[in-house]
A and B are shown apart, each in its own frame.
Chain A
Amino acid sequence: MTLEVRDLRVEFPTRRGTLTALDGVSFSIAPGEVLGVVGESGAGKSITGLAIIGLLEPPGRISAGEVRLEGRRIDNLPPEEMRKLRGRRIGVIFQDPLTSLNPLYTIGRQLLGEVGIPAPAARYGHYPHQFSGGMRQRVVIALALAAEPRLLIADEPTTALDVSIQAQIIALLKRLAADRSAAVMLITHDMGVIAETAHRVAVMYAGRIVEVGSVRDVIHAPKHPYTVGLMGSIPRIAAKRSRLVRVPSALRSAVRALFRRASGPDGSGRQPRRLLAACRCLSWSA
């Protein structure tokens, strides 16, 4: 296994009690495998990715569980060690290609040819603003892959892009995973992207993985009621429905769970507005 995550628990201590963002998350990804992670804003998808690469924003911290990369434990490494791992063994792709590139640097020539950007020689000296959105995302992917990482974490890589560009990026991700037998963790809220790209899928809801399985099983025969609702709420071109299924918002129920926990025996913490603000400060759904 390239990546093993066991019983991962991430907490954000706040003045009004502790917010448990991840609660007992376990999964693994094999070499060459694409694991899709779906869920709504606030479900904990991005926090899972950030926890693995050690980029949780303080005061967030891993309070239990372990993360192993090719058998070696990485969640307790000192920041300096972790920094060496990032970029070299673990590549990361973020959602917005413009903010993840340094606007003052030009783009290296070798990086470009590999991901299918035409005329790499001419593009060598260009700056990020001279690229279109799809090209920028390809540059980000090129950067993430430059050091041939064993694990690639892609957080909403196609969300900011048009469908035609999205299809190209999906094809690229698939090819690179297969060719280099890298493990890919693909975080997205778009079930269609998962269906096209991933081998297995983990469905997250309120900080937990509620269902894991092969993409075919989860899409055609979802077991968990939340997954059933989620699948029903997605509009599809083939089958027009008269009504879309309503599922409870993950964020709202997570916050509700937090209230229950926060308004403990002493009866404190009954200030929803403050707590909601606290959740926002933690950039929980970032």
Chain B
Amino acid sequence: MPLLKLERVSRDFDVSPPWLNRVLDHEPRRILRAVDQVSLDIDKGETVGLVGESGCGKSTVARLIVGLYAPTEGRIEYCGRRLQMIFQDPYASLNPRWRVHDIVAEPIRFLGTPQKVEELLRQVGLSPDDGEKYPHEFSGGQRQRISIARALAGEPDFLVCDEPTSALDVSVQAQILNLMSDLQRRLGLTYLFISHNLAVVSQVADRVGVMYLGRIVELAPAAQLFSRPRHPYTRMLLDAVPDLGMSGRPRTPVRGEVPNPLAPPSGCTFHPRCPHANERCRREVPAFIDGVACHAVLEGRI
């Protein structure tokens, strides 16, 4: 029994111009499908990474899971007790007028437990005295620790982390990633870890899903995905990561950019950028079978 289960979840956004403009200009309604038929199981205690370029629907998935958006289609089942979310920008996600103590206590403010806040601050490597300070007195990494303390206040068993280290320096990022893995071990947490940084995801995730234009195109154990990527898009993404080892491997140049999600290409949405695309790819949407959604892989062409 998975802790969280997404079953063919989709989310549409209405981005039509106002009614009057539509009538005058004879324009139809315009619907943006941000998440398209996403299915995903997450087991207790594991970390699932979600990667993809900006606009691929990663953050919408996060917001669907925590209930900030309702799914247009499909169902989301959660068997745990509580979910919490950690946001990307620790400068924007903490109220600058509140003391840290009040920020951390917000999810549990009706329980009135000051000792708990001290305990939470200690847990994320801050001093209990820091509770009296305001967010502006902290660095980016410390602020992200405060957001983690706040997320842990309600004793969640599932944390949705939307780009939690993208706004931080590498050394600070390392501290936060270490803290998150310590907390996971100690508290038995389950993470959905969303990032555009493949190296960070390879560091933390047990399984990784790759999203492209609202769909999951590949889902595999992290070790397998990074050593033997199957979907052409995953291969392209991995190829584009600057190589620290400077092995001098030949790099296939990245082709094109993400298409406009308002007018996605027919068939497999990756076909205009795919080196293996054929007639079937242009016509038919590939089904997600055995961890990958690609005609070429399933036909054994690549």
Q: Give me the interface of A with B, judged by CB distance under 8 Å.
A: 40-41, 132-135, 162-168, 170-171, 189-193, 195-197, 215-216, 219, 229-230, 233-238, 240-241, 243-252, 273, 276-277
Task: Contacts A40-B170, A168-B254 given; indicate if A196 touches B243 (C-beta within 8 A).
Answer: yes
Question: How distant is the Cα of A171 from the Cα of B240 in the complex, in angstroms?
Answer: 11
- A246/B246 contact (C-beta < 8 A), A41-B169, A164-B254 known: no
Total inter-chain residue pairs, C-beta < 8 Å:
125
Tell me if B253 and A171 are in contact (CB < 8 A).
yes
CB B64 to nearest CB in A, in angstroms, measures 22
Chief secondary structure at chain B's binding surface: helix
Q: Considering the complex, which residues of chain B in the window 209-261 have a beta carbon less than 8 Å from any beta carbon of chain A?
A: 222-223, 226, 236-246, 251, 253-254, 257-258
Cβ of B123 < 8 Å from any Cβ of A?
A: no
What's the minimum C-beta distance from A168 to chain B, rounded to whole angstroms? 6
Contact of B245 among A189, A193, A230, A238 (CB under 8 A): A238
> In B103-153, which residues have CB < 8 Å from any A CB?
136-137, 139-141
Known contacts A250-B169, A276-B137; 7 additional CB pairs below 8 A are A40-B172, A163-B196, A192-B241, A193-B242, A230-B171, A235-B197, A246-B178
B interface residues, tally (CB under 8 Å):
42
Say yes or no: B240 contacts A167, CB within 8 Å. yes
Give the distance to chain B from A269, nearest Cβ to Cβ, in Å: 17
Ranked 4 nearest A-B pairs via Cβ = A192-B242, A244-B174, A235-B203, A233-B174
A165→B242 contact, CB < 8 A: no
Most B Cβ at <10 Å: residue of A166, A235, A240: A235
For the complex formed, measure the closest distance between the CB of A276 and the CB atoms of chain B, giving whole angstroms. 7
Q: Is the CB of B174 within 8 A of A190?
A: no
- Contacts A40-B171, A234-B170 hold; do A162 and B178 have CB atoms under 8 A apart? no
- Complex Cα distance A244/B165, Å? 14
Q: Check A249/B139 contact, CB under 8 A, given A163-B237, A189-B169, A244-B177.
A: yes
CB–CB A235/B199 < 8 A: yes
- Establish whether residues A240 and B203, one from each chain, have CB atoms under 8 Å apart when the complex forms: yes
Answer whether residue B32 sits at the interface, using C-beta atoms and an 8 A cutoff.
no
If A237-B199, A247-B171, A273-B137 touch, whether A163 touches B241 (CB-CB below 8 Å) is: yes
